[in-house]
Structure 1
């Protein structure tokens, strides 16, 4: 599997599929496998690049963690691909894509509910502390459930029963420590008043996810100099896997509007 080395020495592994202008898919939770339903929808027309975030999948990890290091990882991937890529990120990967576009040349950005915390929700955010308390008690599954309920479905009374039907469960438990450190960093990471992003941005959201994420994507929309916002009716936070064809259609339309950029 190809790898790049991030500035702090961490090895970031990635897959490559297809041929054409580069499209880098940045996952949120779990690993690069999150994107499996979407890869065939783009690989005929694009070189699809799938990195694993640090500490997940086939990538290495560093002793110190920060959002800046995750952004540096994405930039290292951008600089390794041939051509100027479009970045497509989900959740934390959406934030990673937007932040990377501030420091690296990209042709465009797509972000599904990027994980910025805004307004009253950010002022009272304590998910990291609640997860830490569960981990300190040796309750890894319960710590993971706290995160998933916060970001997936906060409107379900019997969340345990819903999780039992969720195909991905209990795989997120394997990454709970990394998810905790991510949440701690996000709680300290403010949304800027304005983003210095030169590339066009497509923001995606669903009507059924947690309210704080729908508020966040609109705040990001307001802070960007050039962005388009599309909402999918009846879809939650995991829109790219809940509705892959609707997601792919919106992204393909956005990609078609971009001016092709020659390889570097």
Structure 2
């Protein structure tokens, strides 16, 4: 498959619980596995991967329940960590790992467990690390109930307001956007993202077990609570670098982010 001039090879790997995980690869160089966040599949990480492909062999994948990957009940964060482990095993023992948002938390937890990661990059892991924002107890259950009742649009709206912090009036306007139906298609995975994130604060002890070189990135356009979370995460990981890049709300353009990741990870 070719997308924007980059050729991607699609394959699958089987996770520890037997779930099939679909992934695609492109580029040449040391492998890097990209772990997406909410409303992400391998298609949404592809633009970053395409820029990284000049320096890395990029692995982008569909997290369980998304795209062409399977799903196995009951959901557990540990199963998603096992998915990352399966991708790292396929990629080889000199792999880098990048995670966005809830995917950054998964990437951090996988690395803390001692999986073979050469270097780690985390983009705005949404921990509750200060007085701003943060997850709400019971949100995952409420999201699951809405999806089970067929109210996928309401689940998307609830996640955007309560988890992301988008103003309700902005969410109302988003319902008419072309991408809303695509977001509804991923509504059943929002409870997964919320479970990954949790609401108990910064897991400093767990993050303190990370021993590989790590960079934590924040966008200049993100709200204070996400920037605080990134800084606190960097502070909890021994020797981690805290990096701020020009960008928008919870995003930095690939042409800005990719060179910064290359410099931080490859030196």
TM-score (structure 2 length as normaliser): 0.84
Shift of 1:74: 0.2
The yes-or-no answer on 1:205 pairing with 2:218 is: yes
> Which residue in 2 is equivalent to 1:85?
95
> Which residue in 2 is equivalent to 1:229?
242
For 1:37, what is the secondary structure of its paired residue?
A: helix
For 1:231, what is the secondary structure of its paired residue?
A: strand
The yes-or-no answer on 1:15 pairing with 2:24 is: yes
* CA gap 1:227/1:63 in 2 versus in 1, 3 angstroms: same
For 2:204, what is the secondary structure of its paired residue?
A: coil
Q: After the TM superposition, which residues 78-227 of structure 1 pair with which residues of structure 2 at under 5 Å, given as runs?
A: 78-102=88-112, 103-118=114-129, 121=133, 124-132=136-144, 134-135=146-147, 138-152=150-164, 154-155=166-167, 157-162=169-174, 164-165=176-177, 168-187=179-198, 191-194=202-205, 195-227=208-240
Structure 2: how far apart are the matches of 1:8 and 1:104? 17
- State the Cα deviation string for residues 99-128 of structure 1 (Å, max 9, x = none): 111220111111111133445655854433
Structure 2: how far apart are the matches of 1:78 and 1:247? 22
- State the Cα deviation string for residues 24-69 of structure 1 (Å, max 9, x = none): 1111123111112112211122111112111111111112211111
- State the Cα deviation string for residues 66-107 of structure 1 (Å, max 9, x = none): 111101110111111134111011111111111111220111
Shift of 1:169: 2.8
For 2:180, what is the secondary structure of its paired residue?
A: coil
TM-score (structure 1 length as normaliser): 0.85
Unaligned runs of 5+ in 2: 1-9
Shift of 1:234: 4.7
Unaligned runs of 5+ in 1: 258-264
Shift of 1:156: 7.0
For 1:238, what is the secondary structure of its paired residue?
A: coil
- RMSD of aligned alpha carbons: 2.5
Structure 1: how far apart are the matches of 2:134 and 2:173? 29
